[in-house]
Amino acid sequence: MTAVAHEPTTPAEGLLEIFMSLDTPEGFRAELIEGEIVVTPPPDGEHEKYISRIVRQVIKNSRTDMDLSGNKGLRLKSGGACPKNHAIPDVTFAPVESDLFGGADSWMPCEGVAMVLEVTSTKPQADREAKRRCYARGGIPLYLLADRETSQVTLFSDPRQDDYREHCTRPFGKPLALPEPFAFELDTTDFL
């Protein structure tokens, strides 16, 4: 751990300092989600397959050219006395013309993000609930969740305060309409 320059004034500040000083093993991800430090191991091949299938479609079919990052951490608002949430989506999408990722620090604000993608893995409940609330608090317009356990894909939209007001769920094998700036139907037949 790194030496602390000053004593934290609140438990939330202390937790944030501990989180920011973590030295996670290569391939692992550390996130601060709703006051809990979550460390996840490297993903399995199936997890990566779903990400690849979705990313290829977004790049090929989106009405707007998209940049993407699979390693960009987002600083998101928190609820209550917790420190700011720090999440690393499986993929973050932003319009190319925004140049959102160019020059960004390892933890960047979420303004300008068009959509985040999560594919469930070791902690599916966190993707379904806690991370969904974090992304809504951050005002991220679209949250796409590929849930391997339930064999469904869900698009959350219309973020308001602590959650998304709209969602559309389709079973794997059925298309899911992605709105502007994507404006195409996500094909999930090869998710089966």
Domain at 43-191, CATH homologous superfamily: tt1808, chain A (3.90.1570.10)
SS3 60: helix
The first and second tokens of residue 18, run together, are 């501990």
Q: Please measure the distance between the N-terminal and C-terminal CA atoms of the chain and give it in whole angstroms.
A: 44
pLDDT tens track for 2-26: 444 556 667 677 676 776 777 877 8
- Residue 40: what residue type? T
Locate the domains of the chain by residue range: 43-191
Q: Pick the most confident of 41-50, 69-78, 108-117.
A: 108-117
Q: Over 90: is that where the pLDDT of 29 sits?
A: no
Label residue 35 by pLDDT band (50, 70, 90): confident
Q: Residue 182's CB: how many other CB atoms inside 10 A?
A: 22
Residue with tokens 């609930």: 129
